[in-house]
Amino acid sequence: MAGIESADAGNVYYDGQDMGGEAVQDRSVGMVYQEFINYPSLTVRENLASPLEVSDENYSREEINRRVEETAEMLQISHILENLPEEVSGGEAQRTAISRALIKEPDYLFMDEPLANLDYKLREQLRSDFERLFSEQDTTVVYATPQAGDALAMSTHIGFLHDGNIIQDAPRDEIYFRPEYLPVAEYLGEPPMNVLEATLLEEGNQHIFEFNDGTHIAAGTSEGSFPSLTSNRKYNIGFRPQDMTFVGRGDGAPADTDEDTVISPELSFVETVGSTSTLHLDYQGKEIYALSPRPLNIDAGTLLSFSLNPEKIYVYDPSTEELSATGSKIPSFS
């Protein structure tokens, strides 16, 4: 997209203009790489000024100084302008690299996993900085990342790559709430969507999803809930961790819970961050997740029962991995 390499096929358009024959320097782009690329012998101020000093635009010294000061203030590195790169922290070094990319005010900014080599605290700080920066700048940002959390936190639009192809390209909320393909569903989210294999059965006019261990959940009437699905066929059933309701310990449903909505996985371990607990569970030999708004003190190996809401499930075709149907409370975005 930046023009460093030619496209293998197809065309690259910037705002409707075919850029296939344009050189990199004619594309008004900035680049930020996974590795911090700053000149070690230059101060931070000189690093920021360097793209303007070698530009064909012949910027005046006054204009260069103005842009350096404004960009440094925006990226919160004004206090290190006279330092060498070796004298600043990892987060400051990355902000310097980003400042160098932004100082020419490019129309497009390409960022290749810029947070990959940072520790957790720095990642969280810079992610917050990026959210603010992207909202303030009139620049189109293309941000490549393997981290679902980064994509969901900072983007307005997500293109999901799978096996070298973009299989879904949509606004952030749409691709999260309505993932059209199973790989998207299993990846986007922290923790991601749970997916289990089940067979759709029809008893009278009722649809039932039966999991491989014989447990089943009622899915409503065959005419009203999932009319497009085929009975006696296997599907992949997706449900989000936050849509699993804890109803008790042990196998089966309590007296006050509909047994046709309950599954009983085994607790592997609990991961607690602040006041929220992520339960790592084993069900049918597969790891699934549930969320609890409070810390839990439960021993590993304990059977726990959760109620699923059929109105919030996703149904995927196992052969094509495409979304076949959803529960009635899943947004349609049509």
- Dump pLDDT digits (tens) for 157-186: 999 999 999 999 999 999 999 999 999 999
Read off the tokens for 213: 């261990």
- Dump pLDDT digits (tens) for 3-28: 788 888 888 888 888 887 787 777 88
The pLDDT score that the predictor gives to residue 87 is 96
Q: Are 30 and 102 in contact (CB under 8 A)?
A: yes
Q: Are 315 and 326 in contact (CB under 8 A)?
A: yes
Q: Are 178 and 322 in contact (CB under 8 A)?
A: no
Strand arrangement of the beta sheet that strand 262-263 belongs to: 244-249, 304-308, 262-263
The pLDDT score that the predictor gives to residue 256 is 58
Which phi and psi (to 5°) does residue 112 adopt? -110, 95
What whole-number distance in Å separates Cα of residue 89 and Cα of residue 87? 7
Task: Report how many helices (DSSP H) and strands (DSSP E) the chain contains, helices first.
Answer: 7, 19
The pLDDT score that the predictor gives to residue 78 is 96
The pLDDT score that the predictor gives to residue 25 is 73
Read off the tokens for 208: 């039932």
Three-state DSSP class for 294? coil
Greatest Cα-to-Cα distance within the chain, rounded to the nearest angstrom: 81
For each of the domains in the chain, give its residue range(s) and CATH number, in order of start. Answer: 13-155 (3.40.50.300), 189-326 (2.40.50.140)
The pLDDT score that the predictor gives to residue 34 is 81
Three-state DSSP class for 139? coil
Q: Which amino acid is at 96?
A: T
CA neighbours closer than 13 Å in the CB half-sphere of residue 119? 3
The pLDDT score that the predictor gives to residue 317 is 96
What is the chain's pLDDT, residue by residue, as a tens digit (334 residues)? Answer: 887 888 888 888 888 888 877 877 778 888 888 877 899 999 999 999 999 998 878 899 999 999 999 999 988 899 999 999 999 998 899 889 889 988 988 888 898 988 887 777 778 887 888 888 777 778 889 999 999 989 998 899 999 999 999 999 999 999 999 999 999 999 999 899 999 999 999 887 788 999 988 888 888 766 667 888 888 999 999 999 999 998 888 766 555 556 668 899 999 999 988 778 899 999 989 999 999 887 778 899 999 999 998 899 999 999 999 999 998 899 888 7
Cis geometry, peptide bond prior to residue 241 (ω within 30 degrees of 0) = no
Cβ neighbors of 270 (< 8 A, separation 6 or more) are 277, 278, 279, 280, 296, 298
CA neighbours closer than 13 Å in the CB half-sphere of residue 50? 17
Read off the tokens for 106: 């490019």
- By C-alpha distance, which of 61, 25, 109 is closest to 97? 109
Compute the CA torsion angle 172, 175, 176, 182 (nearest 10 deg): -150
The pLDDT score that the predictor gives to residue 213 is 86
What whole-number distance in Å separates Cα of residue 206 and Cα of residue 216? 12
Give CB contacts under 8 A, 24+ apart, made by 274-278: 278/191, 278/241
Interior angle at CA 12, CA 9 and CA 18, nearest 5: 120
- The DSSP symbol for 322 reads B
CA neighbours closer than 13 Å in the CB half-sphere of residue 252? 3
Radius of gyration of the chain (CA): 25
What whole-number distance in Å separates Cα of residue 48 and Cα of residue 101? 8
Three-state DSSP class for 260? helix
